[in-house]
């Protein structure tokens, strides 16, 4: 009994090395993690995996942020304001205007006026004779509108224009401007004849209330339509003749935003340059010789 109850001597065995129990693997198809018995080796592997995930995420974000190139290349469309106007100078015209371009195209005629940034030189294109004349901004030549304005002897460059009334023209917010220095609203009701300078100051004219484009194209359009430069798009002006009748100088019939091809503002291929907009066209009749300014 004593022998049966004898204590069995305990044997000394080393404790097993601690093992790290792996967490549930949620990315079985993307990553295969080999868990190591050594804590040091496991930590190295964990840090390497974390770095790989971080670099992969950064690469994905950069790829999404980078601009994507399309097979068609850069857009060839240009957004413009399209105006349909009737003017004393050119008749019915279609005007395309924005910060970088101005194009005035006769609806029932052969004349196109073209100007664009950065030099803003004026080109008068004759579709009948396949010619064009260039007027440098620094050395203006006698374009029709500029010449007629000069013949009127009007200098309104120092006038301080003020808003006489507000309204809408062709769905655009519009301001009726008069000379802030001498204008008398009572004279606006006068239906008699006045010279152009006095009439513009006292009866005024209409322009867009907002700056719808940069000053240069807007002022080019104003000059060609025989109106003062105001950094706004010209919209309406009626002149009283010596007989008292109302004579249209400019009226805006319609307006909308459009997208057109950039090629709309390129000089037509095959056209020849001439010294004057009248060469090869109106000059042959001699009727417009007085407007050449020579």
Cα dist from 16 to 13, 22, 31, 37, 254, whole Å: 9, 18, 29, 11, 91
Whether the Cβ atoms of residue 288 and residue 143 lie closer than 8 Å to each other: no
Q: Which residues 6+ apart lie within 8 Å of 241 measured at CB?
A: 193, 247
pLDDT in tens, 239-254: 888 777 888 999 999 9
What structural domains and CATH numbers belong to the chain? 77-278 (2.50.20.10)
Q: What is the pLDDT of residue 200?
A: 86
Low-confidence ranges of the chain (pLDDT < 70): 1-74, 138-154, 183-191, 278-294
Q: Which two tokens stand for residue 70?
A: 């399309």
Are the C-beta atoms of residues 124 and 138 closer than 8 Å to each other?
no
In this predicted structure, what is the pLDDT of residue 287?
35
Q: How far apart (Å, rounded) are the C-alpha atoms in residues 282 and 278?
A: 5
Q: What is the enclosing helix (H) or strand (E) of 62?
A: helix 39-65
Q: How many CA atoms lie within 13 A of 178 on its CB side?
A: 16
């Amino acid at each position: 009994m004593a022998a049966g109850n004898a204590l069995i001597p305990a044997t000394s065995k080393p404790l097993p090395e601690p093992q790290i129990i792996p967490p549930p693997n949620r990315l079985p198809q993307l990553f295969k993690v080999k868990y190591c018995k050594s804590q040091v080796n496991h930590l190295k592997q964990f840090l390497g995996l974390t770095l790989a995930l971080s670099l992969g995420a950064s690469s994905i974000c950069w790829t999404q942020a980078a601009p994507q190139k399309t097979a068609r290349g850069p857009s060839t469309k240009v957004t413009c304001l399209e105006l349909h106007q009737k003017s004393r100078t050119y008749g019915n015209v279609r005007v395309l205007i924005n910060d970088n371009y101005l194009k005035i195209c006769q609806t029932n005629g052969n004349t196109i006026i073209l100007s664009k940034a950065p030099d803003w030189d004026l080109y008068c294109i004759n579709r009948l004779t396949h010619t064009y004349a260039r007027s440098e901004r620094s050395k203006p030549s006698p374009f029709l509108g500029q010449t007629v304005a000069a013949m009127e002897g009007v200098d309104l460059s120092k006038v301080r224009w003020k808003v006489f009334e507000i309204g809408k023209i062709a769905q655009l917010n519009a301001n009726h401007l008069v000379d802030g220095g001498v204008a008398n609203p009572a004279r606006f009701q006068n239906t008699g004849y006045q010279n152009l300078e006095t009439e513009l100051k006292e009866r005024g004219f209409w322009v867009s209330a907002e700056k719808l484009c940069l000053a240069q194209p807007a002022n080019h359009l104003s000059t060609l339509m025989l109106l003062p430069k105001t950094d706004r798009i010209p919209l309406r002006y009626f002149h009283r003749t010596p007989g008292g009748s109302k004579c249209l100088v400019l009226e805006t019939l319609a307006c909308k935003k459009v997208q057109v091809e950039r090629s709309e503002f390129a000089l037509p291929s095959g056209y020849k340059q001439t010294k004057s907009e009248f060469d090869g066209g109106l000059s042959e009749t001699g009727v417009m010789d007085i407007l050449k300014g020579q």
